[in-house]
Amino acid sequence: MIRELSFGPTSVAAALFMAVGLLCLLWPDAIQRVALKYSLPGGLGREFMEGRGYILMLRLIGIVSTAVALLLVAALMTALVTPEPRAGAVHSEAMPGIATG
């Protein structure tokens, strides 16, 4: 898969995406309360934040963010278990499994 996958930054990104995803999935009402508390009265978008559409948007963000986190974890696991090619190894076939010539 990706050989140059940097373990540290990818792990941090996966943790952040998972945290945002779980927060948005499990506590969208609490996020809505905080957003309304710190928004300006009559401010741009406040009407949207007061409605159910905002809760649905937060849940969608949670689903997408959690999916990204799981894909990052899968990429990390694949990179960790995939053996590194040996130095100086020469492949006898251009494409493995396909006869050439």
Q: How many domains does the chain have?
A: 1
Instruction: Note the Cα 15 to chain centre separation in Å.
Output: 9
Predicted structure pTM score: 0.73
Q: Is residue 35 part of a domain?
A: yes
3 state SS of 28: helix
Higher pLDDT, 92 or 36: 36
Q: Is residue 93 part of a domain?
A: no
Q: Please report the pLDDT score of residue 62 as a whole number.
A: 97
Q: Is residue 100 part of a domain?
A: no
Q: Is residue 48 part of a domain?
A: yes
Q: Is residue 94 part of a domain?
A: no
Q: Which domain holds residue 23?
A: 7-81
Q: Answer for the pair 68, 17: CB distance below 8 angstroms, yes or no.
A: yes
In one letter, which amino acid is 74? A
Q: Is residue 34 part of a domain?
A: yes
Residue 86 has pLDDT above 80, yes or no: no
Q: Is residue 52 part of a domain?
A: yes
